[in-house]
A and B are shown apart, each in its own frame.
Chain A
């Protein structure tokens, strides 16, 4: 069975600084890859997704993610963080069996 690991439980970053969230997956083939964001008490919002093709994917809110097959990783980045980016971020993997496996999430705190 596939698994998704988000090594960082909590990250604190200064406003205006860059942000990188790590995601590693375990699966034999190349899966579909997703990043979601969740504000407190809200549902999950899709930031971006990777199916195939260009390994650098652009998403909403200025986020991007890079798929690295050799490292089984799909890290999320943002060049300059805004206070509104404080939230919980989830990486997810799909293998075309109509289900997603989610990582445990990374909470991002933005300090002024």
Chain B
């Protein structure tokens, strides 16, 4: 069953803690993306990767970090430096030739 999986679906974190969100895809896509979604603001790009061991900052990368050690996986770490981390986080993957992106189910992060 092909697709994109994100885990966990809900995540709670205390202030000052780092937390890692998982994203895995078995669609053999080269590109992977992380977005943040806040009410009324649409999607904002955090980081993206076009190839293993390489990634680029998006529009709101401060306070986040990523790695791309495998084609299938693109974990996102929300660090304590992120001032307002409570949000819905969406992972996507896609083909490089058409810009088409396919999305995972999302992770809702709440900072307590």
Contacts and interface: CB of A to CB of B under 8 A. Distances in A.
Contacts of A32: 98-100
Given A32-B99, A44-B90, A98-B31, A104 B105 contact: no
A100 B101 contact: yes
A97 B58 CA distance: 12
A67 interface: no
Given A98-B31, A103-B42, A105-B42, A44 B103 contact: yes
B25 to A, nearest CB: 12
Nearest to B88: A41
B99 A104 contact: no
| Dominant secondary structure at the B interface | strand
Interface residues of A, number: 24
B64 to A, nearest CB: 16
Q: How large is the interface on B (under 10, 10 to 19, 20 to 34, 35 or more residues)?
A: 20 to 34
A43 B104 contact: yes
Contact of B99 (A42, A43, A90, A100): A100
A102 to B, nearest CB: 4
8 smallest A-B Cβ distances: which pairs? A94-B99, A43-B103, A44-B103, A104-B42, A102-B43, A43-B105, A102-B42, A32-B99
